[in-house]
Chains A and B, each alone.
Chain A
Amino acid sequence: MTRFPADPMTRSQAWVLCSNALHCMTTPDRNIAIEFLDVTYRTADGRPLISNLNLRVFTGETLVLLGRSGSGKTTTLKLINRLLVCHEGQVIVESKSTAAWDPIRLRRHIGYAIQEVGLFPHITVERNVALVPQLEGWEPGKIQSRVEELLTLVGLSPPEFRHRYPHQLSGGQRQRVGLGRALAADPPILLMDEPFGALDPVTRADIQREFKSLQQRLNKTVVFVTHDVREAMLLGTRIAVLEKGRLQGIYSPAEFLQSNDPVVSEYSGVLRSEMDFLQHLNKVIQ
């Protein structure tokens, strides 16, 4: 069921792979939306950014790619919509290798949202959201009603926001528009690259909560890149930990907390120290 990487695994990795395999066998209805088969990606000077990556993303789940800067999480994301092409192995999207997809079709089939700069600064909110439907040649009436529907969905009132330019929005509003735009043509898959990274903590918590409830309703397959372990725990169905271009393991949030893997322990250590801090605050208050 599960492919084992060629290199030796840590015990926890092996355990996770086995448990995933077991999980698949017990729930046979889970379809694979995206699969990485022994994927290696190198920079122009031959340095590997991703090495022998094996990864499955199931339909309807939110897989979080968690890792530090330079761990290869963004590279992994870009391999899915063929902004990058891998040198070894295959990336399979909906049972077809990305090499076999027409890149334009593939990308319009996948929503893409990234941090901060994502919106086109020279066009209005409305036209940003309408972009992919427009490229797809929808009729104007349909685009219009879709834009209204999406702005409402992401919590922005259409009459107030549709004619604004990105620079007339707050950071949180920009991210909402970015999310609406990624959802515009109703793609079954969403790629999100630290979409809430540049927001202040309060706005970020709001938008994370809303995204979570939105995701429960829409049931998209989401691959979500972040370096924030709290965000990973909050949003992820499963969390794939990347370290120096290698997959350290895939965990459910519960498994993540219990893992003895040294890299994962560092992340859960961050959570624990935050918990300790909260308890400390509680004591001070009482």
Chain B
Amino acid sequence: MNLLQFFAAHSAEIMRSALEHIRMVGIAMLLATAAGIPLGILATRWRGLRAPVLGISNIIQTIPSLALFGFLLPVPWLADRASRLAITALALYSLLPIVRNTYAGITGVDPAVREVGKGMGMTDRQLLFRVELPLAMSTILAGIRVATVIAVGVATIAAAIGAGGLGEFVFRGVAMVDNQFILAGAIPAALLALAADFSLGLVQKSLQRHN
């Protein structure tokens, strides 16, 4: 049986896994963005927070992904459901690029532009929302883009703790020494990563146009 026939025979199953995969990554990215951007902003506002915020997200990033899933297993509420645990791990893993790029994007705004805003009578809040964040947005989006691509890859490992996703095919294939199973997980995962990279790239480009 060649690969195409294999894909056709398992199409429903692949589709279900891919949707599971997308759901996991999507929710994780929403969480990571919702936490990462405010953390990055806080780090620019209070100098004391800079080192701990960047440091901790850096440390999380250095933990091997499989180990991170393992570390979270004993956590009470999280471990009730495998997908819940996988989403948390992915979100933690995606934090660093988002926090770091938010921080870099805001501190990278030309100090003269910031001073003009201040000189025109903007409050710190207005300066943040009307000047700094819009100007930092393409850098922040670059961070989200990198984080998403990494998360699509890392999410395949979530199958190891039973959270489903395209990783199931990969693990099954490895166990059965069957390349077709491995590819049935790996190819859609790669395509997903490329699609995410491409579409977020388009958004980023449209934001960059005027800066």
Contact = CB atoms under 8 A, between A and B. Distances in A.
Partners in one complex: yes
Interface of A: 78, 81, 83, 104-109, 112, 114, 117-118, 120-123, 131-132, 135, 165, 167, 181, 191
B120 A107 contact: yes
Contacts of A106: 121
Interface residues of B, number: 19
Given A122-B210, A167-B210, A107 B116 contact: no
A108 B210 contact: no
B97 to A, nearest CB: 22
Given A121-B211, A122-B134, A104 B112 contact: no
B119 A83 contact: yes
A112 B134 contact: no
A107 to B, nearest CB: 4
Nearest to A191: B119
B126 interface: yes
Nearest to A132: B120
Given A104-B123, A107-B121, A108-B120, A117 B113 contact: yes
B137 to A, nearest CB: 8
7 contacts: A78-B119, A104-B121, A121-B113, A122-B135, A122-B210, A131-B120, A181-B120
Contacts of A109: 121
Contacts of A181: 120
B73 interface: no
A135 B210 contact: no
A69 to B, nearest CB: 16
Contacts of B115: 83
Contact of B126 (A118, A135, A165): A135
B131 interface: yes
A121 B210 contact: yes
A178 B126 CA distance: 19
